[in-house]
A = this chain, B = another copy of it.
Amino acid sequence: MNTFGKRFALSSFGESHGVAIGGVIDGMPSNVEINLEFLQNEMSKRKPGGKYATNRKEDDELRILSGVFEENGKLFSTGASIGFVIENTSQHSKDYENIKELFRPGHGDFGYFAKWGIRDYRGGGRASARETAVRVAGGAFAQLLLNHFGIEVKSGVLSVGEIGVGSVSSGYAELLGAVDFGNARNSEIFALLPECEASQKELIKSCKDSGESVGASVLSVAKGLFAGLGEPMYDKLDSKIAEAMMNINGVKAVEIGAGVAVSKLRGSENNDELLPASNGGFGAMRAEFGSNNAGGVLAGISSGADLVVLSHFKPTPSIFSEQRTINKRGEAVKFALVGRHDPCIGVRGSVVATAMMRLVLADMLLLGASSRLEMLKRAWSFA
């Protein structure tokens, strides 16, 4: 239940205020160069800190324990499982003393206690978004593999609260034209719409200052895909992407391609025409598409068009105003949180969205390698 993926699989462990978090990656093919700098750099993107995030400080240093081997001064995967840990160094567990006996609204506290009868209340324990550092590590390893297939995954923030574009009910094609991933890369809040960035930052800052929080919408795009990724019937690419995204802490809705908006369209508006295309790269069969309402996936299989995914994050449930709830004895109580929290989980959540998409794509790449007899024969003829 703590393992994500079938062939490129990440098993994760760790709590917010435990000794360390970490994971095991199973299925990485051998001979993939392991670029430590890239990995650590990816970790840094999700790292807490800064004006628009929690004040908790963590270096999130990735320590690889196995599965790699040095040859000629470079590190390579060996085909063995890759174990890694990230130590927790900045736990302020006493911030949570006052919530030990009660259940915070919007958090998993109640469900966890109802389910297990015991709860690590410190910083949300296992339910904390701290665990997403493990996913970012896993996703970064996945990307090292995807690199060899020309696949790139990018995410950024479309909207913060009411500022920006929070749905594509209309103007989906225009939206894709307007987003600027270059801007996102250099933005402290990964803003995709340069003209909205300043106001979005202001909104986040004001939430942080006032102990409030705010929701956000995140766009993720995978480029360089070829047709044939995805495993019908129940491991469809879109289905696995929806699972992966909804699995991220705070996500309450996932849209693929034109998403919600398709429910308003006619078939003649929604269908993406196929156009001739030149072959090339991985996978012989190529097409161009007149539009991309499908968001790159049809019947659960990639079409070769960009995979386009929108994830909607709720506001951080940790706010500092007084709230009503119940305690372990079922009695009504009031309380106010203390501690350090992100005012807008969607911001760092966008880094996690990239990671999850990478994990899904790497899994599909491995699962699909035996789709055809010819593929299997080619794979094994390793002369």
A169–B166 Cα distance when bound, in Å, is 10
Question: Mask for A66-94, Cβ within 8 A of B = 1, else 0?
Answer: 11010100001011111101000000000
Say whether A214 faces chain B, with CB atoms less than 8 Å apart: yes
Say whether A199 faces chain B, with CB atoms less than 8 Å apart: no
Min CB–CB distance A346 → chain B (angstroms): 7
Question: Mask for A362-383, Cβ within 8 A of B = 1, else 0?
Answer: 0001111111111111111111
A32 surroundings in chain B (CB, below 8 A): 373
A263 surroundings in chain B (CB, below 8 A): 159, 161, 166, 215-217, 253, 312-314, 346
Min CB–CB distance A27 → chain B (angstroms): 7
Judge whether A255 and B252 touch: CB under 8 Å: yes
Say whether A41 faces chain B, with CB atoms less than 8 Å apart: no
Judge whether A267 and B83 touch: CB under 8 Å: no
Contact check: which of B15, B66, B114, B297 meets A18 at CB < 8 Å? B66
How many identical chains are in the complex?
4
Contact check: which of B1, B119, B212, B295 meets A252 at CB < 8 Å? B295
Judge whether B371 and A30 touch: CB under 8 Å: yes
A159 surroundings in chain B (CB, below 8 A): 263-264
Judge whether B266 and A118 touch: CB under 8 Å: no
A116 surroundings in chain B (CB, below 8 A): 30-31, 78-79, 371-372
Nearest chain-B residue to A162 (Cβ)?
A: B264
Judge whether B126 and A31 touch: CB under 8 Å: no
**Please, how many residues of chain A have a CB less than 8 angstroms from a CB on the other chain?**
178
Nearest chain-B residue to A2 (Cβ)?
A: B81
Contact check: which of B162, B258, B300 meets A247 at CB < 8 Å? B300
Which of the segments A46-54, A177-185, A190-198, A320-328 contacts the partner chain?
Answer: A320-328
A81 surroundings in chain B (CB, below 8 A): 1-2, 11-13, 126, 233
Judge whether B253 and A246 touch: CB under 8 Å: no
Min CB–CB distance A133 → chain B (angstroms): 13
Residues of A132-176 contacting chain B, CB below 8 A: 145, 148-149, 159, 161-162, 166-167, 169
Beyond the given pairs A3-B234, A215-B270, 16 more chain A to chain B contacts, judged by CB atoms under 8 angstroms and listed by A's residue number, are A1-B235, A13-B24, A15-B67, A79-B116, A105-B273, A106-B270, A115-B371, A161-B263, A161-B265, A212-B266, A215-B265, A236-B247, A265-B315, A271-B323, A275-B324, A365-B376
